[in-house]
Structure 1
């Protein structure tokens, strides 16, 4: 069954990093999400990321969880997990807020915020 809120706010939309002090993605990293039923996937690249992918699922009306993996420009292969919440900012852009951690390739974790790229 498709979640209308997450689908409407994520499907075929692109996001950039608004805040990711402890993370690897940053200025220049673009995330492109797709949603089918309760399944979420994305690709991302830019900044320090050569190529990254995510797969996940919708967990509530405005929440989801993801597993991610990436190859950095330095040749590092990294993987981790995240839990996200969909929101809307004052300008009507979709926002994503995450807590996340690394599973392989490095250690640590943190919190991140993304904002939708609008035309």
Structure 2
């Protein structure tokens, strides 16, 4: 059995591509925390003024809910399941399957660790 990729605690991650207008994009940064199977993050950038996510990690699988405030004053929330993998250079990548709960829509995205 392969070992799970490393901890997300203290890492900054960013999307590798822009999503639909008004959503998370390449200018968004996620500051992750992880402790005892619990994960949480704050995020902002691009169209997002402030966002938060909270959930759990089991092995290489994250399951969390997110809520965000956009510059136009609207809020939205959803659910995401992500798979954590380690890139050849040692950085972490999340392959995400997300679905809005506050509005129609779903999709996939990829975020990767940003080297400081």
TM-score of the superposed pair, with normalisation by structure 2: 0.89
Q: Report the Cα distance in structure 1 between the residues aligned to 2:97 and 2:17, rounded to whole angstroms.
A: 12
| 1:77 positional shift | 0.5
Q: Which runs of 4+ in 1 moved over 4 A?
A: none
Q: Is the 8 A contact 1:67 1:80 kept in 2?
A: yes
Whether contact under 8 Å (1:53, 1:70) holds in the other structure is yes
Indicate the residue corresponding to 2:28 in structure 1.
Answer: 29
1:55-81: CA deviations, max 9, x gaps?
0011x3111101000000111110000
Larger proportion of helix? 1
Show the counterpart of 1:79: 77
Q: Which runs of 5 or more structure 1 residues have no equivalent in the other structure?
A: none
Over the aligned positions, Cα root-mean-square deviation in angstroms equals: 1.7
Q: Is the 8 A contact 1:22 1:110 kept in 2?
A: no
- How far did residue 15 of structure 1 move? 0.3
Contact 1:82 1:98 in 2 (8 A): yes
Q: Which residue of 1 aligns with 2:43?
A: 44
SS, match of residue 86 in structure 1: strand
Per the normalisation by structure 1, the TM-score is: 0.87
Distance in 1, Cα, partners of 2:94 & 2:38: 17
Match of 2:114 among 110, 113, 117: 117
CA distance in 2, matches of 1:36, 1:110: 27
Number of equivalent positions: 113
Contact (CA 8 Å) 1:22, 1:111: kept in 2 or not?
A: no
